[in-house]
Amino acid sequence: MEQPLLRIRGIKLPKLSATEAHNQYRDRLRCLGAARGTLWITDLSGSTAAMRRRTIWSAMNAPGEDAAISRDSLLLASRTFRLVERV
């Protein structure tokens, strides 16, 4: 049986303070619960069919995925993570 192609979305939260980079991300994970189910809708405009094609059902920060904080300047940081589509 052929494996379906999974869609991957890289997301970057820019211009965060060091505290925000840690705390906001933890708060997001806490709100998502144990399954960390996330529905990522990239664009609400257009037809329903087009919106469904662009939507990704995923988990945030699943094991083995990138979740990192990088320093953009002395006071600001960015948080990146990936969403890998669930099938």
Closest CA to 41 of 30, 32, 33, 52: 52
Domain count, the chain: 1
Tell me the pLDDT tens digit for each residue of 10-59.
888 888 888 887 787 778 778 877 667 788 887 788 788 888 888 888 87
User: Is 12 a domain residue?
Assistant: yes
User: Is 25 a domain residue?
Assistant: yes
User: Is 3 a domain residue?
Assistant: no
Which position has the token pair 């925000």? Answer: 20
Alpha helices per DSSP H over the chain: 18-32, 48-54
Residue 45: domain span:
8-85
User: Is 2 a domain residue?
Assistant: no
pLDDT score for 50: 84
User: Is 75 a domain residue?
Assistant: yes
User: Is 60 a domain residue?
Assistant: yes
